Structure 1
Amino acid sequence: MTFVFSSVIRRKVSPSEVQFYRHSSKFDRLNWKYLGDPKNSADIRENISRRKGVGDIDEVSHLKSKYDCANSGEKDSIRERLLEAALRIPNVSHSSLIHNDGSPIVVKRCGTRKNYDFRPAAFETLSKRWGLTRTDTSVYTGPRSYYLLDQLADLEAALVNYAVDLLRSKGFRLVSVPDVLPREVIEDCGMNTRGVRSQVYSLGGELSNEDLCLSGTAEMGVSFLLKDQELQSKDFPQRIAAVSRCYRAETSKISEEKGIYRVHQFTKVEMYGVYLPEESAEGLLHFRDIQEEFFNSLGLEIQILDMPECELGAQAHRKYDIEAYFPGKDFWGELSSASDCTDYQARRLNITYDSGKFPHTINGQLALFPEP
Structure 2
Amino acid sequence: MNLLHRVISHIIRKSFPKNPILRFSSSATIPDIDVEYYCNQSNSNEIVNNINSRKGVGDIKRVLDLYDAVTAISPTHSAYQGMQQNLYTELSKLPNRTHPNVQKFTEPQVIKEINNKKDFGNHTPLEFSEITRLLNYVRTDKLGYTCGHKSYYFLGNLAILEEALVKYTVATLLKKNFQLVSVPDILPSSVLESCGMTINSDRTQIYSLDPHHHGPDLYLSGTAEMSLAGLLKNSIHKYDELPLKLAAVSRCFRAETSNVIEERGIYRVHQFTKVEMFIVTTPEQSEDMLEYIRSVQEELFAPLGFHMQILDMPPHELGAPAYRKYDIEAFMPGRKTFGEISSCSNCTDYQSRRLNIKYSDIASNKNTYVHTLNGTACAVPRTLIALLETHQDPKGKIYIPKVLQPYMDEKEYIGKNMNVPELKLVKIKR
TM-score range, shorter chain: over 0.9
2:374 to 340, 353, 363: 363
Query: 2:126, 2:57 → 1: CA distance?
Result: 41
Partner residue, 1:213: 219
Q: Per-residue deviation at 1:318?
A: 0.1
The answer on 1:103 being equivalent to 2:107 is: yes
Give deviations 1:101-125, integer Å, cap 9, x for gaps: x200001001011111211001111
The answer on 1:61 being equivalent to 2:77 is: no
TM-score normalised per structure 2: 0.81
Paired letter, 1:344: Y
1:302 to 308, 313, 316: 308
The answer on 1:158 being equivalent to 2:164 is: yes
Q: Per-residue deviation at 1:205?
A: 3.5
Q: Per-residue deviation at 1:36?
A: 1.2
Partner residue, 1:178: 184
Query: 1:137, 1:244 → 2: CA distance?
Result: 25
Partner residue, 2:265: 259
Alignment of 1:1-372 (within 5 A): 2-7=18-23, 22-27=26-31, 29-71=32-74, 72-73=76-77, 74-100=79-105, 102-116=106-120, 117-140=122-145, 141-354=147-360, 355-371=366-382, 372=385
Query: 1:119, 1:251 → 2: CA distance?
Result: 30
Query: 2:310, 2:243 → 1: CA distance?
Result: 24
Give deviations 1:73-105, integer Å, cap 9, x for gaps: 2211101110100000110000012211x2000
Partner residue, 2:424: none
Give deviations 1:179-198, integer Å, cap 9, x for gaps: 00011100100110121111
Q: Per-residue deviation at 1:58?
A: 0.6
Give deviations 1:219-238, integer Å, cap 9, x for gaps: 00101100011111111010
The question of whether the paired residues in 2 share the 8 Å contact of 1:22 and 1:229 is answered with no
Structure 2 gaps of 5+ residues are 1-15, 361-365, 386-430
Query: 2:211, 2:39 → 1: CA distance?
Result: 40
Paired letter, 2:47: I
Q: Per-residue deviation at 1:136?
A: 2.8
The question of whether the paired residues in 1 share the 8 Å contact of 2:258 and 2:268 is answered with yes
Query: 1:219, 1:299 → 2: CA distance?
Result: 27
Give deviations 1:281-304, integer Å, cap 9, x for gaps: 000000000111111010110000
Paired letter, 1:3: N
The question of whether the paired residues in 1 share the 8 Å contact of 2:183 and 2:227 is answered with yes
Q: Per-residue deviation at 1:6?
A: 3.1
Paired letter, 2:49: E
TM-score normalised per structure 1: 0.93
Larger Rg: 2
The question of whether the paired residues in 2 share the 8 Å contact of 1:26 and 1:347 is answered with no
Q: Percent identity?
A: 44
Structure 1 gaps of 5+ residues are 8-17
* Structure with the higher fraction of residues in helix conformation: 1
Distance 1:142 1:48, change over 3 A: farther
Aligned pair count reads 358
Partner residue, 2:405: none
Query: 1:300, 1:22 → 2: CA distance?
Result: 48
